[in-house]
Structure 1
Amino acid sequence: MKAPLPKNEKQRLAILHEYNILDTSPEQAFDDLTILASHICGTPLSFVTLIDKDRQWFKSNYGLEIRETPRDISFCAHALLTPDKLLLVPDASKDERFCDNPAVTGDMDVQFYAGAPLVTPTGEALGALCVVDRQPRELNEAQKEALRALARQAMAQLELRRQSMELANQMAVRVQTEAALRESESRFQAFMDYSPVVAFLKDAQGRYVYVNRPFLRRFKLESEDIIGKRDSDLWPNVAEHLRDRDMDALVAGEIVGNIESWQEADGSCHHWQVYKFPLQHGGGNRRLVAGLGLDISDTVRSQQKLEEYHLKLEEALRLKDDFVSVVSHELRTPLTSIHGSLGLVVGGVTGAVPNRAQTMLEIAQRNSKRLLALINDILDLQKIESGRLDFELETLDLVPLVRNSLEANAGYGAPLNVSFVLDESFVKEAGISELWVDSDASRLNQVLANLLSNAAKFSPHGGDVVVTLKKHDNLARVEVHDQGEGIPEEFQTRIFQKFAQADASATRPRGGTGLGLSICKAILEQLGGDINFVTGPQIGTTFYFELPLLSAKC
């Protein structure tokens, strides 16, 4: 008859496997118990059995060379059902549970069985210590008690074995942990020793408990010169200051950074960026001050030199501005007089002059006009860069402003037979007749005059310069398009730079100071706008500027 499973079978099997005893080699401690059991009870056979899921495995077997049997024929499996009692079978052939058991009817010829369960401290029966005979018999009370005691000893051996294994595992883990800790410490020490920073640890009393190799090298010390010492032992002149910084970190409970200046023995001054912060040690019962320091002397000196250069540069720029302003003003007054006088002579106000002289005077008048324009541009640019150019902002409509500008600047195109045309398509297509902005009319006229004169200069004879007004994304855009050859690619990246010209040679066919577009860009940026261009050899060039539309007029 097969023994039923205990109610706690799942838990029992889990605990059995925790002991890691199954399929292990014989051990003398268990073999001694089975020898004693057989001698005390007078039986030829005795076993220490453990009941696994499908088998009965023998940790010790006295009198029979066998390691396991199927659980189905196990007597000890029945002993599991009553963990607190001996299982006694005086005559197996007459016991209905075992009479047809192959262990009884077969070669093993089991006729007598007595088993004491092996019970864990938590009450699970894992197997039994049993004695077996090939003939029916009885045990006296002394033998029964001895069998129980031996079973307790077998269980104690299992417990001892498990505890030894747990201890061995703990020791192995500890050894691994210690090895990992040593490796970690070694890596940390290597990291700190090859780090560019000096590092140290002090206890709450200010004694050094750790410094890295760069610290020792920097201050020309050996480890025994500093460990256990205070700043007062090493640097008495600054010890109080250093101690105050340590206390700042301890009180703050977080990283505290300072730049410290350090006077060397040779009189040189070194600057350090120092960070200090508290560390808990020994389970939080011991507080340390950790510090990291980087010598930033070169950086500080470079910064000081940079500040000196900056001051010198500012002074040079101021002198340049003053020089440009004085020279320009001093030149503009007589040059204006010269230009005006030449105009009177060329215009015949002073009387007729010979033809050859007339030609020379006209050349002089044109060049004086160009010089005057250059000086005016330089003065405007100097005012913009120094922030002294005045702007008079007002609410104005770009549509009439552009129309008036085209009329006022028509004279730029007339000598070149170039016409300025306003494209009215935006009015017809979008129904927009007004473009209101908050801007300076005089400065916008200055920008338009520059863009129109440039477009005229680079347009073919008899061509048109088309001006278009647009509105998009709450911006007003003014476009000035010429039909010229386009801007050379190598010049496009520097077109808004001061004195930039595509042809900078003295024999260039078109005039100009090279400052106009730079001034336009500066004016528009001051007005909150921007300027850019689109160009190509087949499409000519379109310069456009954008200004924010007034929200109330959008």
Structure 2
Amino acid sequence: MKAPLPDNEAQRLAQLLNYNILDTATETAYDDLALLAAHICETPVSLVSLVDRDRQWFKAKVGIEAEETHRDVAFCSHAILQPQDVLVVSDARQDPRFADNPLVTSDPNIRFYAGAPLVTPQGHAIGTLCAIDYKPRTPSPKQIEALEALSRQVVAQLELRLNVQDLSQEVKERRRVETALLQSEMQLRNKTRQLQRILRKLRQTQGQLIHAGKMSSLSQLVAGIAHEINNPLGFVASNLDCAQQYLEDILSLMEGYRQTYPSPPPVLQEQIEDIELDYLLEDFPKLFSSMKTGTHRIKDIVNSLRNFARLDEKEYKSVDLHVGLDNTLEFLQHRLQAQPHRPEIKVVKRYGQLPLVSCYAAQLNQVFQYLLLNAIEALDRANDPKMTKEETVVRFPQIRIVTELIDSDWVRITIGDNGFGMSEALQERIFEPFFTTKPVGQGMGLGLSTSYQIVTQKHQGELKCRSIPGRGTAFFVKIPICQKGVGLIAHPKL
């Protein structure tokens, strides 16, 4: 007799499919429950059977090889109709529902069946845990009770499996969300780095604009000063030559008078003694010579200043780097002289044999100035009694300038001092725009950052710093002798 469909067939099938267990591989937990049912009921066959729309499929089995049977011949189709009770068929041949069932009349010749429905927490019977024998028998109440308990354990396993699946899905979803968050975080970091690069670029641009404004003002100031100094300087220099000639003529005339009138009147003799004429005649030429030396010195300073600045010259030219270094040193000579708190800074020059180097002369001179000023200020701080102890003062301050030809394509200029040096943390930030170790109001932190831009970007070179605390700091400027693709103007001096 074919079993009718349960009243809740649609909901029952939905619940079964929700467990996602049909046609899955064997699992030890279900096999163990089927084995226990066979032992307790003392039957050769036991099954965990799930009733699908057209079949009953065996999740676990003991004593048979079949994987499934059609639902129309399944004993379990009848068992799920009474979800509250165990269906017991003591002798299938004597039961009109199963007497003509092919599973009874032919192989495997089922005679005994006891099936406990698998009832879900929602009240749907989706299958059975059943015990089967090939001979009639009547189960004991304890066997029925054990079969019911084992069926509840099957359902518990199904719920656990479902929860594990849900948990696995939740884990997958969390991993997906974590992956998305990590990707978002990486994108945010990339955006942050990009914004930081833009910010650094803006700060560099701002620094360069400020520096350009200062250099433009300095250019005008230098031009004005040079013009104002050169005019009176030329007048003084040209008149000194005439004055010297007049002096020589007067002195010659006076010598003639002394020889002609060796005994002047007492009044003149007294005046001669008062003015110390002999000393005056000896010292006056020296005084003129000193005045001429001073005018030449002023002229050299003005020329060095103009050669150093060249702020209106932007062309790329071949120059002698040594001349640029010497002009810069000349311009900074007053800073190297002895100060109240420190002795004179000695400059040690070790110039190598360098060819003419193609560069932006004015800008490279600015780099030399910044690096030399940095060394001078480091030595000033190393001798400042407010910042140092007597036993740590640098008593013989020194700046070393080394130039060398690295190979046929590159030259290197090293400018170092024997001051206190810097820590690694400071060295990492030394080229950052607006970073300075000077007290507030004594520096904007643009010199070294501007130098870095000039060397690395304008000249495709390298600017590095190496410092050892307690021993000093050195800056290394490495630039190519000639850059490809840039037109050159021959120019022997910076």
Return the TM-score normalized by structure 2. Answer: 0.41
Return the TM-score normalized by structure 1. Answer: 0.37
Structure with greater strand share of residues: 1
Structure with greater helix share of residues: 2
